[in-house]
A and B are shown apart, each in its own frame.
Chain A
């Protein structure tokens, strides 16, 4: 399921600096909303004054904002910037509905902290639009009916876009592998494969 290649780190804090900023308990909270049995270690909480200013570059626009170090890129994109095309299905790297491009590579936005995303080139589904017009992958998904409920769709499209940026003429196996990190419970897979093949031709 892993999306290969980690993007190189930007100027922000190093992992070590980050770990000393945030208590271990809070990191665990960020990683997964666990069921809430009381956990003695989890009482340490970041104070508002610990918030940090970061620069994010999303869809070719710069956003400067104040975040808690533990906030995921996904949380910031959706709930703070209102870019809700990026969905959340698990917030722990299982489903792919939060897939965005980070320096052209599809990655799970729930598995990256907003701080880590500084100075990286981030593209969300909104960034594939040309004004009000659909991009080629979006158009192919529409025409091939490559979705049902549509909730996994943004992630599928971003995974497909990333695949096509790297491999403009994918084989069917490469297509299947390319979206293998993106679950579709509705089972629109055969139409997703067709849409990606169509988009590859159209690009």
Chain B
């Protein structure tokens, strides 16, 4: 396992403060009072009343609105930018571009090998449609758009390559000086693949494609920047305020202490708001130049072009199996596209092949290429849903070829250690078997398989069921994570945490952890978070690591506060702190519960007014690896004539360690399934390879997300709860990405069960499927 890939979201191998010290580890929770309950969110009122101020909602006096002029060509060089007409337009306060050197700072990017490459904020070499060319600040967004239209840019239009499968062909234009290959192709091998195939009873090979997806969170990307002298404050819709702070400080050459980034609420990111973008710098520069606060939120169209994507992939998988269900060999070759800059076009694409199933002989080979299109960004479980699309369809096909139930084939090949990580560390816990078995029982797998084997027909509709499983390469969290907890004299609490709540319910879970330890109501907890001016460092919320990172630190802080409180109360109760316990806002003597006092009566607390506890994330196990597992099931009906697919119901069985909040847990499961249904059936970036190289479907009308009509109302969440006490002191593993990994493959397998047709290319759609059905009828 290369550490480089672990750095997708966070700092790795950095010495960080960790508590508790070895030997002081708190006992794992046994029976919890609060954790695991169904709790509505602590910030729910703000969200449903409209009082939550998202970054796009913030309005300041004298505020201006900015807009960015973007390159309309997939590949071009900017020769000249004439802003003379634009600056004179009504309401316009400033126009900046590559022609204004004072507002064109260095903007470096990293090659995939980690070398820094120098570039500029407004780089004259535009490598994708949507690259940044100029920007305007004006009194209204309307006037800003008017001004953009009056900027006259002279471009040298260059030949482009937009089809990633042709990027390395001879004669294609080079996007970077070194060519169109991003770094070196990655090859990993274990065992003897040729020998493995020779031993197999059945060998199958298939090529699979997944289309490029765009994140499109509902809140647009953007920020509001405001200067007070030399101090900059930025309200940004981001997954990590500290990441934004670091980039702005570096680019504008400011000390961190002068850059404050606030992101109390944010309207979704899914990985696309983990990186810092040029727009944050542009807003800051325009605000500085005009001496006014500047709000810069992109248009929806811009977010399609320039704020990341899940790259398309072309994968060939060859796999061998013995009649008894043992996998003997797998060979996986894939190509994916970073886009116009190095961005991990094949990152983690082969992970499941290497790690999910026991297989002694495996070879993977991945190639990442440049194309003239927006750069990729991590998208909920990078690489994994694509890989599952291939691997989990292959498992289905292998099972059929050896006449074995697909669940049984999977059960037969479950490892209890990681085959892909160096040293083959064992998993702390693995609930994959239970996910498959318990999920199958609750879904009614056996009965439905039998029923549809006998008769699939239901009028014009064909019915079928499918299953697929997965893991996510990272289940634990780790430092740095620092929490400050204050217990006030009236028994209420302030929780101070740097992490963002990106919609997963982080704040609520942290409040529940505090409530669990201190025996108070979550409502009595005030949370201060995601503000570099007032909270402690936290890494970007992503990678399903926020709960396993922050929750143990919160628990640690709460335990520290509790210890101090019990010491104080022991003086009042004439007892030893270790004989005391906390419940319902009261301190009581464990073996004499009638002797109790309210927290508010503790004399020392009254004198001190506050107890402050600091908590850090504890060390993570070094000899074991922490991985969440999943199995999902669905039932579909396919119209035999029109190819329409109806997804009738879905079930997700997930082992993500301890369930922290059952209500938000289920919500995550359903949300992940919904996004997976998008990958399977609706989402695809279309580039016009032949004529313009431009993106064709840059709107939600043409690039379809699943709507309320495309998801089954009947979704079921079956938690496989195995608290992982080795992973961390709360027993929780990550949940947010595992929930979307197997979904698309489940749909494909169900369609196969219903129709006998293997759809190898996403998105499955009626046109494609009706053709395949017609062909199938002819051949059949």
A47 contacts the other chain (Cβ, under 8 Å)?
Answer: yes
CA distance A172 to B72 in the complex (A): 44
Residue of A with least CB distance to B711: A189
* Size category, A interface: 35 or more
| Cβ–Cβ contact B52 & A150, under 8 A | yes
| B145-A29 in contact (CB<8A) | yes
Give Cα distance in the complex from A149 to B673, angstroms.
16
- For B620, the chain A residues whose CB sits under 8 A away are none
Inter-chain CA distance A89–B299, complex, in Å, is 8
Residue B90 interfacial (CB < 8 Å): yes
Contact of B713 with A89 in the complex, beta carbons under 8 Å: no
A186 surroundings in chain B (CB, below 8 A)? 218, 268, 503, 671
Given A35-B302, A90-B699, decide whether A134 and B48 contact each other with a Cβ distance below 8 A: yes
Does the CB pair A91–B671 fall under 8 Å?
A: no
Bound-state Cα–Cα, A64 to B743, Å: 52
A183 near B: Cβ within 8 Å? Answer: yes
What is the distance, in angstroms, from A154's C-beta to the closest C-beta of chain B? 6
Binds B, one of A7-15, A38-46, A101-109, A115-123: A38-46
Residues of B contacting A25 in the complex (Cβ-Cβ under 8 angstroms):
149
Nearest CB on B from A94, distance (A): 4
Interface range on chain B: under 10, 10 to 19, 20 to 34, or 35 or more?
35 or more
Q: Chain B contacts of A157 at CB under 8 A?
A: 48
Say yes or no: A45 contacts B89, CB within 8 Å: yes
| Bound CA span A150–B56, Å | 13
Q: How far is the CA of A79 from the CA of B138 in the complex (A)?
A: 14
Q: Is the CB of B711 within 8 A of A187?
A: yes
Interface assignment of B275: CB less than 8 Å from any CB of chain A: no
Q: Mark B651-695, 1 if CB is under 8 A from A, else 0.
A: 000000000000110111011111100000000000000000000
A142 to B41, CA, bound (A): 7
Residues 20-60 of B contacting A (Cβ, < 8 Å): 40-41, 44-45, 47-54, 56-57, 59
Contact B57–A29 (Cβ < 8 Å) = no
In the complex, residue of chain B having the shortest beta-carbon distance to the beta carbon of A71: B142
Contact with A along B288-310 (1 / 0, CB 8 A): 00000000000111100100000
Given contacts A43-B149, A183-B700, whether A142 and B301 have CB atoms under 8 Å apart is no
Flag whether B706 is at the interface (Cβ < 8 A): yes
Residues of B near any A CB (own CB < 8 A): 40-41, 44-45, 47-54, 56-57, 59, 67, 69-70, 72, 85, 89-90, 130, 140-143, 145-146, 148-153, 215-220, 265-268, 270, 299-302, 305, 502-505, 663-664, 666-668, 670-675, 699-701, 705-709, 711, 713, 715
Interfacial residues, chain A to chain B (CB-CB below 8 A): 25-26, 29-30, 32-39, 42-43, 45, 47-48, 68, 70-71, 75, 78-79, 82-92, 94-95, 97, 124-126, 129, 134, 138-139, 141-143, 145, 147-154, 157, 172, 175-177, 179-180, 182-193
Query: Can you report 28 A-B residue pairs in the complex whose CB atoms are below 8 A from each other?
Result: A29-B149, A35-B302, A38-B151, A38-B152, A68-B140, A68-B142, A70-B142, A78-B57, A84-B57, A87-B56, A89-B300, A90-B300, A95-B300, A138-B49, A141-B44, A142-B45, A148-B505, A149-B267, A150-B265, A152-B218, A176-B709, A177-B709, A183-B705, A185-B705, A187-B670, A187-B673, A188-B667, A193-B713
